Structure 1
């Protein structure tokens, strides 16, 4: 039995490939990206103190993947911002998420069913971004499999990879949150939907790490674990312990 044919996955994939990302899917991507920025500690204070810094940080969240992949491919990093329509749409989403009266847009987008829908639409755009990055690298490096993977990864997850630079724009410096040191996992799990910081595969990663990458420290050649230091003639010292007052007194009487 053809499972793919039974589930009509081929038709579903073909239908998704024919969908236009603009404006609905792009709008969902921008809303979720700006919401991710807003939920960072201190982001609301920056939005009130310096709206331009908040806007610039939001654009890094929205177009970070395209900017990073352009840098990796030696292209102009401002090229993703040349599309005025997308830039204006992202700016509009930033405005309504941060400054809408009564926080109506953010409150509505935070409702679980709405956030689930927006997240699903954002993941569709991420798939297209990864495919675009792989295709872009494949044109220039036909046999560079690693380059294709790296550029596709950067284009799909560039917002997180540029998080440290984005933090500097907001006046924050937290190098321990670097994406390479602590990778996030954006999916339909509770991390994205419920705001949980727990990682669903942490137990599996811990097991793999302890199995493959931990070296047992049973012996260290730089330390001497022997309690008695050997003398040049190979015999142990028979001198009394001078730190013991009774032994010291007996030694004086013997002398």
Structure 2
């Protein structure tokens, strides 16, 4: 039985899930993706020195999720570039953001109220891509739960999982920015979302796909719009993770590295034994010292 069946949202969710994302929502997705590229240090200079490299980076930001998903499923990684209309639209957005006279287009789309609208529209596309990735993997691997989750995750995470490769195209190497080691909120949300969609696809979650798309999209829109409006990088999942992770995986202080550190620290803190006291002077030495003091006093 559908959990949302009793709510008057069934028709709304069905209509929302059937809403086409091209070209309106895809345009918003491309705008925000290329905006984030322009925010990267040196991206503007690269667009002047090497426009082709800048265009390649923009295409990775726009279509990186499709490339990764195709690689995982053994399909042609450039297959999505056969959609000429999407590639032309993304190219037009890239050109306007980087080369529009007086930076007019960039100033318009980066204006915060306008940008928030595009951010919300981008999350609509993200959730659709997660659902489509899980559905496509389920069609190929009917019982492959992990294949479904991996495909949905890379579809939703976009270029974030390819950030190191994209940086190489810009002549930058930052291995410490590995997205798997330091997940951003969209990457984490895509991971959790793809678990939900996998459970729904395998009939372990009693909710229709349309309702799940609707509710998860609303969650993503609220979180991303709030984070963008407040310029916050704190993950909404942090309070829950701080409670659950120490219970399931332990804390850093209770693990072996901390014990190893304390062991070495204790070895450094052990005080050395005090030096032995000087040997007691003999009676002859004491008498000799007394005579010298008396002679010095007489002088």
> Structure 2-normalised TM-score?
0.70
> In the alignment, which residue of structure 2 is the partner of 1:238?
none
Is residue 91 of structure 2 the alignment partner of residue 55 of structure 1? Answer: no
Q: Structure 2: how far apart are the matches of 1:90 and 1:226?
A: 61
1:34–1:93: 8 Å Cα contact kept in structure 2? Answer: yes
1:32–1:118: 8 Å Cα contact kept in structure 2? Answer: yes
- Following TM superposition, by how much is the alpha carbon of 1:38 offset from its aligned partner in structure 2, in angstroms? 0.9
1:130–1:156: 8 Å Cα contact kept in structure 2? Answer: yes
1:134–1:151: 8 Å Cα contact kept in structure 2? Answer: yes
- Following TM superposition, by how much is the alpha carbon of 1:201 offset from its aligned partner in structure 2, in angstroms? 3.6
Q: 1:8 to 1:116 in 2, by over 3 A?
A: farther
Is residue 235 of structure 2 the alignment partner of residue 199 of structure 1? Answer: yes
- Following TM superposition, by how much is the alpha carbon of 1:5 offset from its aligned partner in structure 2, in angstroms? 6.8
Q: Structure 2: how far apart are the matches of 1:20 and 1:38?
A: 28
Report the count of equivalent residues: 236
- What secondary structure sits across from 2:184 in the alignment? coil
> In the alignment, which residue of structure 1 is the partner of 2:279?
250
> In the alignment, which residue of structure 1 is the partner of 2:254?
216
Q: Structure 1: how far apart are the matches of 2:94 and 2:124?
A: 20
Is residue 126 of structure 2 the alignment partner of residue 97 of structure 1? Answer: no
Please list every run of 5 or more consecutive structure 2 residues that lacks an aligned counterpart in the other structure.
187-222, 283-299
> In the alignment, which residue of structure 2 is the partner of 1:26?
26
Q: Structure 1: how far apart are the matches of 2:24 and 2:11?
A: 21
- What secondary structure sits across from 2:114 in the alignment? helix
The structure 1 segments of at least 4 consecutive aligned residues displaced by more than 3 Å after TM superposition are 2-8, 189-204, 206-212, 217-220, 222-227
1:99-126 CA distance string (max 9 Å, x none): 1112222211122221121112111111
- Following TM superposition, by how much is the alpha carbon of 1:85 offset from its aligned partner in structure 2, in angstroms? 1.1
Of the structure 1 ranges 147-156 and 41-50, higher mean CA displacement relative to structure 2 is found in 41-50
**What pairs up with 1:9-158 in 2 under 5 angstroms?**
9-158=9-158
> In the alignment, which residue of structure 2 is the partner of 1:230?
none
- Following TM superposition, by how much is the alpha carbon of 1:205 offset from its aligned partner in structure 2, in angstroms? 2.8
Q: 1:195 to 1:61 in 2, by over 3 A?
A: farther
- Following TM superposition, by how much is the alpha carbon of 1:194 offset from its aligned partner in structure 2, in angstroms? 4.7
Please state which structure has a larger fraction of its residues in helix. Answer: 2
Pair member with larger Rg:
2
- Following TM superposition, by how much is the alpha carbon of 1:64 offset from its aligned partner in structure 2, in angstroms? 0.6
- What secondary structure sits across from 2:224 in the alignment? coil
- Following TM superposition, by how much is the alpha carbon of 1:203 offset from its aligned partner in structure 2, in angstroms? 4.3
- What secondary structure sits across from 2:182 in the alignment? coil
Q: Structure 2: how far apart are the matches of 1:180 and 1:251?
A: 69
- Following TM superposition, by how much is the alpha carbon of 1:62 offset from its aligned partner in structure 2, in angstroms? 0.3
- Following TM superposition, by how much is the alpha carbon of 1:185 offset from its aligned partner in structure 2, in angstroms? 1.5
Q: 1:252 to 1:182 in 2, by over 3 A?
A: farther
Q: 1:3 to 1:48 in 2, by over 3 A?
A: same
